[in-house]
Amino acid sequence: MEAANGEGQVQVHLKTKQEQYAVPDVPYAIDGTVATTELNTFINALLQNATQVDFDFLVFDEYLRGRLCDHLKEKAISFEDAIEIEYVERFPAPEPQDCLLHDDWVSAVKMRGKWILTGCYDNTLNIWTNKGKHVLTIPGHTMPVKAVDWVSLDSETGCFVSSSQDQTAMLWQWNIGSNAVECVSVCKGHERGVDSINVSPDEKRFATGSWDTMLKLWSAELEDVGEGTSKRLKESGTRTPQMTLQGHRESISSVQWMDNTTLLTGSWDHTLKVWDLNLEGIKTEISTNKSIFDASYSKLNRLIVTASADKNLRLYDSRINQGSVVRNTYLGHNAWVQTVMWSTTEEFLFVSGSYDNQNKMWDCRSPKAPLYDLLGHGEKVLDIDWSNPKYIVSGGADNTVRVYKSRKALVDDMDTK
């Protein structure tokens, strides 16, 4: 590659973990002013590819997003050193698929299998298919629904939970064959609106976080009711919490099970807390300088990403118990970031939704820019979900749920053709 602009040559080693794209392991002298476009052309020429493959380039554990020389200067790396550049095939852009129209703001969305469960500001829950077909509207709450989650799902029945500004959580059972839903229990104990809800990995309990600053745990156990294999939830009517945990000073905006005995909470009080349920107390606390609107823990990389009022997303490691240790800050939204979630199958990827009407997909190794903008919402985004690896779904103040197909669905579609 020719030298230009007097920046001089840099000696590089080109590495990849994707063996089908490996090039000879020899040093290459390239111009310091190159960016990803020129590097892509160079790699494809070395591979003698008939069709161009798009790559991203990692230099010192961070994606190259400008010129190589600028990247090295920022990292204080000498141009005299041989530089290792790792390249990976670029994750393809998710494709917009469906728009599910509701009667009011959609503040909660969660997918399981082919079913999309949504919670709305008109106090209802709705169930949809991944093809955009509306299946059921479920009344019951008396104020806006703020969070939903699936407890269990098989071919015959579904069980799910919802929480609302009406200070309750509700447990529901859905007979898929007859398409009938009943509220099995109303969970009472919070003194203000319940903003967050999450079901444990073993599906035996769920946790709620509220504006009353309390974290509460509830049973979601199933039991046999006589003949056949049919199961239903224990009790009916009112259910009370198994455990109440106090420690936050303001609203709990996010709750997530890290495993069956560990919970992560995020709060408007600027803290993340990790709770040990066996000890019924706080194991780790991470102080931040902003109200946290949402937090997501990845079981793949064991890192936490948070959404805040200052337009930024931040990466934390809960294993480093030294107050506020920000691993990275992600810049790209231009309004409050309301919602964030890690991919359950792609170690480095997460998605976010913001009051700037946009969803974004990020690679945690690329703090300067998102991988993709997922456009479609005409108003602020209130919730986003990537529970099903094939689909990203988001709800917003434009009364819609937007459905985007990710690479997993695109690949599966090609395999079935």
Mean pLDDT over each residue of the chain, to the nearest integer: 91
In angstroms, the CA 110 to CA 321 distance is 31
Alpha-carbon distance of 277 to 267, in angstroms, equals 18
Tens of pLDDT, residue by residue over 88-132, are 999 888 999 999 999 999 999 999 999 999 999 999 999 999 999
Distance CA 221, CA 154 (A): 16
- Rounded CA gap, 303 and 299, in Å? 8
Instruction: Give the least confident one: 2-6, 22-26, 47-51, 71-75.
Output: 2-6
What confidence score (pLDDT) does residue 318 get? 81
pLDDT tens by residue, 206-217:
999 999 999 999
The predicted-structure confidence for 240-269, as pLDDT tens digits, reads as follows 999 999 999 999 999 999 999 999 999 999
Q: Specify the pLDDT at position 99.
A: 96
Write down the residue that tokens 């298919």 correspond to: 129
pLDDT of 411 strictly over 70: no
Supply angle C-alpha 89, 95, 96, rounded to 5.
160
Residue 81 has pLDDT above 90, yes or no: no
- What's the pLDDT at 319? 80
User: Domain 95-416 is in which class?
Assistant: mainly beta
pLDDT at residue 231 in the model: 52
Comparing CA positions, the residue from 74, 59, 63, 65 lying closest to residue 12 is 59
At residue 406, what are phi and psi to the nearest 5 degrees? -95, 180
For residue 322, the model assigns a pLDDT of 56
Q: Mean pLDDT, to the nearest integer, of 218-241?
A: 64
Tens digits of per-residue pLDDT, 314-370? 999 988 655 557 899 999 999 999 999 999 999 999 999 999 999 999 999 999 899
State which fold the 9-89 domain adopts. Answer: Ubiquitin-like (UB roll) (3.10.20)
The CB-side HSE value for 147 (13 A sphere, CA atoms) comes to 25
Are the beta carbons of 89 and 21 closer than 8 angstroms? yes
Confidence bin at 283 (pLDDT 50/70/90) = very high
Domain boundaries, the chain: 9-89, 95-416
Structure tokens at 154: 């098989």
- What tens digit of pLDDT does each residue of 176-192 get? 999 999 999 999 999 99
Residue ranges of E strands in 225-348: 231-233, 237-239, 243-245, 252-259, 262-267, 271-276, 281-287, 292-297, 304-308, 313-316, 326-330, 337-342
Task: Name residue, tokens 């670029």.
Answer: 90
Residue 280 DSSP one-character state = T
Mean pLDDT is lowest, of 137-151, 230-244, 290-304, for 230-244
Question: Does 56 score more than 80 pLDDT?
Answer: yes
DSSP H or E stretch at residue 137: strand 134-138
